Amino acid sequence: MPTRDPLASLYTTAQVRAIDRAAIDRCGIPGFELMRRAADAAFACLRRRWPDARRIGVLAGSGNNGGDAFLLAELALRAGMDVDLVALTGDSSGDASRARASFVEAGGRARLAGNSVAPVGDVLVDGLFGTGLKRPLDGLAAELVGRSAGRPVLALDVPSGLDADTGTCTGACVRADATVSFVAWKRGLFTADAIDQCGARELATLDLPQAAYEGIAVDAELADACIGRALPPRRANVNKSRFGHVLALGGDHGYGGAIRLTGEAALRCGAGLVSIATRAAHVGAINAARPELMARGVDDAAALAPLLERASVLALGPGLGLGDWGRRLFDAALTSGRSVVVDADALTLLAEAPRAWSADAVLTPHPGEAARLLGSDVASVQRDRFAAVRELARRHAAVVVLKGAGSLVGAPDGRVVVCPWGNPGMASAGMGDVLTGVIAALLAQGCNAWDAARLGVALHARAGDEAAGDAPRGLVASDLFVPLRRLVNGAGA
Ligand SMILES: NC(=O)C1=CN([C@@H]2O[C@H](COP(=O)(O)OP(=O)(O)OC[C@H]3O[C@@H](n4cnc5c(N)ncnc54)[C@H](O)[C@@H]3O)[C@@H](O)[C@H]2O)[C@@H](O)CC1
Ligand SMILES: [K+]
């Protein structure tokens, strides 16, 4: 059995609960001891991140997340800090009541949350709710979260209010500067609203023995950008025909830039040859701006056949449009039997008439396109991105990239990889066109669909982070070309 990498393994809350149970029942570690370890890890994190904090405010819920908070508050007291603990309820359950008693024995005092009560401190510790969250926050809990905003927050396990399975929050939610998560990564910390709510993420495995994880499936994995395994360094004695021929199809009138970005991304990621099938009106501009791209006018679809014949991989859709011209290209491309990356307008056409594939296929929908492919709506897709990407991959029998904050890559067999990189600067025109070219280039160089998609997404997001630095606003898609070239050659892996 392959060794599980705890830092890359993502679990549902039910799976994490099963690990907790196994640690207690099978490995004989009492639940209260786990709580102590969680509090130790979180307090160490607090000291490391806020070394000057002298006064801490602590929010404690009634369950075990609150128990972690009581024990952390006790540690802070014993370290000589001022502690203002606000408890949501007058009593706690199970191990948490023992933690509460321990805090009181150490001289701590719990203030009960009520009208206008808000914790005081240089840093707030959020121990209201963790994996036991059952419904959106409302009432007193929501008010407490609102009253605590504006100060640095360390969230215990999960920012309270965030659904740790889906990464969404439909009610009030703590916005943390850092989240220290216990035992194992909850998958919902890495996508959707979680990207804004978690801050920096840390994992504290609480020294659980390997036996606690045995027999418990991993739901998803974090993406890696280790290009070397899928795309080894090039031999010297080679020529361009070894690295595939990408044909990028799209760029209806007014959208020539989109398909040029796709083509140039494919070149920058190492495709041996890149041709562009587009409107004749765009050919001159593309050739002038990037002479290495072989742009051809295919206003007459008959001109397409020899291009398809020569290509090894197709990048289909950027700027394709939904008119007759785009539809003709779409049909010709998908009957050619070539490996294909399907993006943008081609996804809308695919939603009208799903296809069977005779070669590798990668679909790259954003949530709107995903909703069209599933016959649902954007809110439903975003409510559970894991379910959406799995359903898309299964239904379309293809590898699917569900774009957006915390992009997911899903395979028809249920595997999912989550991309932990990317930034809001990448919410700008042309970024998706570049991703399509990146994935097509990896396919052209011999990666299978799964590797091309998961690595392509990782390289693209990391290139976006490198290009943005700390200034995401104003990032443009072509800023990614230089870092992409570095990363596809193994830099920073
Ligand atoms: N032994 C263990 O199982 C461990 C658990 N740990 C902590 O325990 C947490 C899970 O503890 P629990 O299962 O007790 O769950 P939580 O502490 O997350 O919350 C459970 C309590 O909150 C209430 N609740 C849920 N949603 C609510 C809402 N929207 N409004 C008001 N009340 C709501 C529930 O009725 C229940 O009383 C983890 O997140 C982690 O922080 C850690 O101490 C590590 C070990
Ligand atoms: K919490």
> Mean pLDDT per segment of 10 residues, for the chain of length 493 residues?
80 98 97 98 98 97 98 98 97 96 97 89 98 94 93 98 97 97 98 98 97 96 90 86 94 97 98 97 96 95 93 98 97 96 98 93 98 97 98 97 98 98 96 98 97 98 97 97 96 75
126 is in an annotated binding site: yes
406 is in an annotated binding site: yes
Q: Which residues pair with 294 in a beta bridge?
A: 275
Ligand nearest to the CA of 205: 1
Q: Supply the pLDDT for residue 463.
A: 98
Q: What is the domain partition of the chain in residue ranges? A: 9-218, 227-488
pTM for the model stands at 0.96
133 is in an annotated binding site: yes
Lining residues, ligand 1, CB within 6 Å: 20, 31, 34-35, 38, 61-68, 129-135, 137, 141, 156-158, 182-183
C-alpha 115 – ligand 2 centre gap (Å): 21
Atom of ligand 1 at shortest distance to CA of 135?
A: 29
Ligand nearest to the CA of 127: 2
Q: Supply the pLDDT for residue 3.
A: 66
Q: Supply the pLDDT for residue 240.
A: 84
Q: Supply the pLDDT for residue 2.
A: 54
Q: What angle do CA 66, 110, 73 make, to 5 degrees?
A: 55
Domain 9-218 annotated CATH 2.160.10.10: no
Q: Supply the pLDDT for residue 1.
A: 45
- Interstrand relation of 313-316 and 408-410 (parallel, antiparallel or unpaired): unpaired
**Distances, alpha carbon 17 to alpha carbons 35, 64, 205, in Å:** 14, 12, 13
Please state the ipTM of this predicted complex. 0.97
487 is in an annotated binding site: no
* Cβ contact 248:444 at 8 Å: no
Q: Supply the pLDDT for residue 229.
A: 84
CA atoms within 13 A on the CB side of 266: 37
Of all protein residues, whose CA lies closest to atom 9 belonging to ligand 1? 65
Domain 227-488: what homologous superfamily?
Ribokinase (3.40.1190.20)
